[in-house]
Amino acid sequence: MGNVMIGNLIKYSKQLNNNDVFMNEALQMEKAASVGKRIRLFYPKYHVEECLAQIRECLEIGWTGNGFKTEQFEEVWIKYTGQNNALFLNSCSAALELALDVLKTEYGWDDGDEVITTPNTFVSTNHAILHNGLKPVFADIDDTNCLDPLDVERKMSQKTRAVLFVGIGGNAGRYLDIAKICMENGLKLILDASHMVGTKIRGEVAGREADAVCYSFQSVKNLTTADSGMLCFNKPELGKQARKKAWLGINQGTYERNSENAYRWNYDVEYIGYKYQGNSVMAAMALAQFQFLDQDNAIRDKVASYYDEKLAPYRNLAIPVRIPNDCKSSHHLYQILVDDRDRMIDRMNEAGIECGVHYVSNTRYSMYSYARGTCPRAEYVSDHVISLPIHAALTDSEIQYIINTLIGILKEE
């Protein structure tokens, strides 16, 4: 950490009415920075002993592939979410691509049919549409940083077949309004819940309104494994089709064919499928981590509430709207909007605090440039959004230091 930054932190301690605490934090962080310590944006919390115990079972029985632990975790996930089926996969990207594949096949969509989606997401969301021969039509976001229902209606056409909603940062935004639009217009709804593991709407895990829900357990997510995902359909028969397509179109899984102390080789291949299955090592970690999901999310919620309280008075900073009556966010991200985003990130980095940008509007990328200028708010947010550290491993002193540093920089403006 540079001396200039420390000097600025001390300079503004009087304005923050927290002289001794603030000074102490600055000095502590200067000392920590001198030995290379940084406050990380993402710091996945692994419950190591529980994970190792679950993995050990896989190794002891000699089964690390699909089946065994994957089936156990699917049963746990069905009970937790209230869904009637679940398919454990190697990533949320695989879940998105498979969801669209199954829906396109089942409902007879043509190549070139349209899926309304958000530009405010990681590119895997929209790549999945293209991989299935469909066209992403970008609708703008609203003050929640999620899809704007009004712009969704404006972007609908005779070729629209589905809406793909992303719960950015764990926020459900106006998801229920989008679900209503889909129902009234005969459109399928796909929920990209990659940030929403543990998000609840009106006391229930989000997603029961959707035709397909895609979850992520990637390495920095709230429920973290090495990398994996889950796919749930509202119709069990679609889940059965997806299970076959996830294993190259084969109609019986290897574990299923090996479950009676005799390996059965005679199976049928019904589809051109993929190798999207998750394995038992990933699922073992998921089973261990799941026990602590709500507990760890509660820590994130407290951090978010503290950020909200301390940052609310600053007019040169905006916090995306959350809808408290509808949504209990998983708080995978804590986002703010500032005037000079790049300067803010540089200054926070100088202070030993990692920040992120989630996300660059997909309309800014070359392959989606056909939609550039069609989503002005998303492009504005793309230039002003910052993700602050929010994870279960943050200490009280680190949280206070992040806030004090951010406020000090804001007061320079």
Q: What pLDDT does residue 20 have? A: 47
Q: What pLDDT does residue 324 have? A: 72
Does residue 232 sit in helix, strand or coil? strand
Q: What pLDDT does residue 73 have? A: 98
**Phi, psi of 163, rounded to the nearest 5 degrees:** -120, 135
Q: What pLDDT does residue 252 have? A: 85
Nearest to 22 by CA among 33, 30, 13: 13
Structure token pair of residue 176: 């229920």
Q: What pLDDT does residue 323 have? A: 81
Q: Is the dihedral of CA 202, 358, 126, 244 positive or negative?
A: negative
Burial of 49 per CB tally in 10 Å (0-12, 13-18, 19+):
exposed
Q: What pLDDT does residue 4 have? A: 40
Query: Rounded distance, CA 296 to CA 170, Å?
Result: 14
Reported as a single tens digit per residue, the pLDDT across 196-227 is: 999 999 999 999 999 999 999 999 999 999 89
Query: Rounded distance, CA 373 to CA 370, Å?
Result: 9
Instruction: Output the DSSP codes for 120-180.
Output: SS-HHHHHHHHHTT-EEEE--B-TTSSB-HHHHHHH--TTEEEEEEE-GGG--TTHHHHHH
**Phi, psi of 167, rounded to the nearest 5 degrees:** -85, 80
pLDDT beneath 70: ranges in the chain: 1-36, 257, 259-264
Amino acid 33 reads A
Q: Count of alpha carbons within 13 Å of 360, Cβ hemisphere only?
A: 11
Query: Rounded distance, CA 356 to CA 335, Å?
Result: 9
Q: What pLDDT does residue 23 have? A: 43
Reported as type and span, the H/E element at residue 274 is none
Cα angle at 140 between 42 and 81, to 5 degrees?
55
Query: Rounded distance, CA 197 to CA 213, Å?
Result: 11
- C-beta of residue 172 within 8 angstroms of C-beta of residue 206: yes
Walk me through the domains of the chain, giving residue ranges and CATH numbers: 3-45+293-412 (3.90.1150.10), 48-290 (3.40.640.10)
Q: What are the residues whose beta carbons fall under 8 Å from the beta carbon of 138, sequence distance 6 or more?
A: 116, 117, 118, 119, 155, 362, 363, 368, 371, 374, 375, 378
Burial of 369 per CB tally in 10 Å (0-12, 13-18, 19+):
exposed
What is the model's pTM? Answer: 0.91
Amino acid 326 reads D
